[in-house]
Chains A and B, each alone.
Chain A
Amino acid sequence: MINYTKRYLLLLTSILILAALIPGSAMAQGSYPTDDDVNAVAKQLYCPVCENIPLDACGTTACEQWRGIIRDRLSEGWTEDQIKTYFVDQYGDRVLAEPPRSGFNWLVYIVPLLIFVGGFVLLIGAFQRWRKAEPEVSSRKNAKQAAKLKKAPDEYISRVEEELNKRSKG
């Protein structure tokens, strides 16, 4: 948790420093943000009413108002993260495209990973069964016999094929 906060603070400071270093940026206070600036932020947000439709693609009046808020905040010089935080404070985590990585929400990221790893462990198990099975054949003293054993099914198949050929001709 401490780590998380630390990283967050570090990120925030670096963004602030960067923002201060670039005086002529499009986001600077005073300049009017374009539709593309607004959409770039809106894309990452979801309004609570139109579930699963990103804010930039939603045509409802409510979403239009939200985009208006984003535009206003941008022209006041807010950063993308500040705007996102503002909406989270107002409406909860659901406005974000993904659950924030904290607390209970970690489950959403961990569970599929665990199951997926589990699947591969099973798969490796299947491969290991083969590895265990193989030495049985190779450890036979008589290598020729082993070769014979390996050959055996082929002989069998060729005989079956022969029989089948006879039949279809007859």
Chain B
Amino acid sequence: MAADIGFGSLLITLVVSIYGIGAAFYGEQKKQKAWVLSAKRAMTLVFPLLTISVGSLVYLLLTNRFEFEYVAKVSSLSMPDYLKITALWGGQAGSLLFWSWLLAGFTSAVTLRKWDRDQDLLPWVIVISLATLAFFVLLNTFFENPFVSYWQTSEGITTAFSRPPGGIQLFPRDGSGLNPLLRHPGMIIHPPMQYLGFVAFIIPYAFAMASLITRRADDRWIQLSRRWTLWAWLFLSLGLVLGARWAYDVLGWGGYWGWDPVEISALMPWLAGTAFLHTVLIQEKRGMFKQLTMVLIILTYNLVIFGTFLTRSGLLSSVHAFSKSSIGPIFLGFIALNLIGSLWLLNKRWSYLKSRQVLTSFFSKESLIIISVVLLLGILVTSFWGVMFPKISELVTGQKVTVGPPFYERVAGPILGGMLMIMVICPLAVWSYASFKHLGRLLWKPFIVSLIGIALPLYGGLTRWPAVVAFWLVAFVLAVNAFEFFRRTRVRRKKGQDSLWGSIVHVLKRNQRAFSAMIIHIAVVMMAMGIIGIEFFQIETQGTIPVGGELSLGSYTMVYEKLDIFDTTDGRNVARAIVSVNKDGQTIDTLYPRRDFYYDSNQPATIPGVRSTLVDDFYVILVDWKVVSSEGATFKVYHNPLVKWLWIGAWVFIIGVVATTWPDKKSKPLPVRAR
């Protein structure tokens, strides 16, 4: 019954979406508002409809209905209820439905805003959003249906939604359970954030296309979609950071980012989206680079779809990829159609978007931003090519190759350094014209302060120059931002009678966007510090030691105290070591690295024991053990300096982005009074 309701509302969503596309198109062509209004209502309806579908699947998961293939594959009796709910996105069909549901949430929400001033854009926003939704719902309906069940026929066991001729429904007693790697708390939030970030980019894309179709050359679409874009960007960033955290906590290789193809496919839309956010700024302030802004939003949206395709087509193998599937070619077709369609449209409107303005100075804000955009795209191009090359090589030469971390790091490292350098100058640069002299006047004081960033590491015995340069840049960015903030506060205090606190509040309020950008950039610097720490200074060791034995790494020593092996109520066999961490002869912490073995899915998960401080992380993995404890256990130990700053930076980043999207009192339209 629940499956019928779920699949039924999936079908209705497909019909309603297609109707909405048709009605919006017809209404626009015939200039009949009633049709457009009807299409708008259809678009409002897709979210409640898909909610019914998602609700039905969650119900099936919670009630252990293992006759359904999806439930049997991702759930099991021993799983707690919260994991059964998260199993909604633990497999191919369910996660596609979840994707569509979130997409429907955004498309329905966008109909709820006031459209009075932008009636001409509305039909096209509907067409673009619903076309994307219809595509995904179509995949769910005909290719990856989460509501099919097992049937015994004369030819064996098959899966189908309705009874095949002569089929008898099968009722497996238990399911194979969720992949253990996906049972971590981080997995509860990482995929939803990632998906939210992915799907939210449809809104700015739809507005951009609507603006192109209606031949508008103004910035209205940017104003309309600004908040959507920022939220999309926030979610995508959070998705990436949470994914990194999950990898750090669960994958057990002492790192957070392995340049895995699927990680890269999530990074690519982020790079394009970040570049887009920055060219939007130039377009708003100076009316320049409108064409590039369009190219970037088209790229972002298509990379979102491409990323989803990469993870779902079985083209790539990685920790994230779902099983091999037949939806690959359809996905490629959709991407090709989208990309060619939107680029053709952009080409047609190219001259509308020409700007009369030109760059007027090397050190103007727009020049610096555009350089950083090129740098971001540099990482993007490298990433795209690195991901695709093994496939291309296999097609052309027949030989498979691996494109691993060293390839990407060689490019990403220096580019990150370059971007930090720009972040130093950018807050001080002004729009349209800035001379080097002007910048120099503002830069020399922070520069002197930033030398601490060189002195301290050198004093601490650091000799690797890339690391010294990186620390110096971090200090420089922080110093520039602090000086700039105090300069503005001082100007305010000189002007008025405000108290110190009053003028700080005033400056913050008056420059909300500038300061939230400042917070975001400081957050990026904090994260950069974490990255520098782990990339340059990670050390590791591995050894097999008996109980009471020691393993030393850096200034730390770990002592293997005990090993417990026991079963848990949720179907795990746990081997947990107790390890004490010593420094300078004193025990400072006790860690519990463990290996969980899941009976239902027959898979292990390695959970490290981590002692994390602002200075460093001491990270212990239980690699192997002998049941007879005197033979000892094998541990792999990592020392990861500064990595905590990556996670702290992520929190600061959220604060920054929320601050940018915070409603600004000034921007409310002034009431118009009749004279």
A residues apposed to B, CB below 8 Å: 34-36, 39, 46, 48, 51-54, 56-57, 59, 92-99, 103-105, 107-108, 111-112, 115-116, 119-120, 123, 126-127, 129-130, 133-134, 167-168
Contacts and interface: CB of A to CB of B under 8 A. Distances in A.
Contacts of A103: 397
B404 A54 contact: yes
A52 B261 contact: yes
A52 B318 contact: yes
A56 B636 CA distance: 10
A108 B403 contact: yes
Contact of A98 (B261, B407, B670): B407
Contact of B670 (A53, A112, A126, A168): A168
A67 B382 CA distance: 31
Interface in B420-472: none
Interface in B356-389: 358-362, 367, 370-371, 374, 377-378, 381-382, 385-386, 389
Interface stretch (B47-55, B474-482, B536-544, B654-662): B536-544
A46 B317 CA distance: 13
Interface string B477-521: 000000000000000000000000000000000000000000000
B554 interface: no
Contacts of B317: 51-52
A104 B393 contact: yes
A93 to B, nearest CB: 5
Given A35-B634, A108-B389, A119-B378, A94 B542 contact: no
B358 A52 contact: no
Contacts of B180: none
B358 A133 contact: yes
B606 A59 contact: yes
A133 B390 CA distance: 46
Interface of B: 251-254, 258, 260-261, 317-319, 358-362, 367, 370-371, 374, 377-378, 381-382, 385-386, 389-390, 392-393, 396-397, 399-407, 411, 540-544, 604, 606, 623, 634, 636, 670
A108 B391 CA distance: 12
A63 to B, nearest CB: 12
A46 B407 CA distance: 14
Contacts of A115: 381
Given A115-B381, A119-B374, A98 B403 contact: yes
A168 B251 CA distance: 59
A51 B385 contact: no
B542 A92 contact: no
A17 B526 CA distance: 46
A48 B361 CA distance: 52
A104 B317 CA distance: 23
A29 B544 CA distance: 22
B250 to A, nearest CB: 12
29 contacts: A36-B542, A51-B402, A52-B258, A53-B319, A54-B258, A59-B606, A93-B402, A94-B400, A94-B402, A95-B402, A97-B405, A97-B406, A97-B407, A99-B401, A99-B402, A107-B392, A108-B385, A108-B389, A112-B378, A112-B381, A116-B378, A119-B377, A119-B378, A123-B370, A126-B370, A130-B358, A130-B361, A134-B360, A167-B670
Interface centre among A108, A130, A167 (most CB of B within 10 A): A108
A130 B360 contact: yes
Given A35-B634, A98-B403, A104-B393, A51 B318 contact: yes
Contacts of B251: 57
Nearest to A119: B374
B502 to A, nearest CB: 23
A71 to B, nearest CB: 12
Contacts of A116: 374, 378, 381-382
Interface hub of A53, A56, A104, A112 (most chain B Cβ within 10 A): A112
Nearest to B370: A123
A69 B572 CA distance: 32
A39 to B, nearest CB: 6
A134 B386 CA distance: 41
A111 B406 CA distance: 17
Contacts of B604: 59
A35 B544 contact: yes
Contacts of A57: 251-254
A123 B288 CA distance: 13
A34 B636 CA distance: 12
A158 to B, nearest CB: 17
Given A39-B540, A46-B402, A99-B401, A111 B606 contact: no
The 7 A-B pairs with the shortest beta carbon distances in the complex, nearest first, are A57-B253, A35-B542, A97-B404, A99-B401, A94-B400, A112-B382, A51-B317
Nearest to B623: A59
Contacts of A94: 390, 399-402
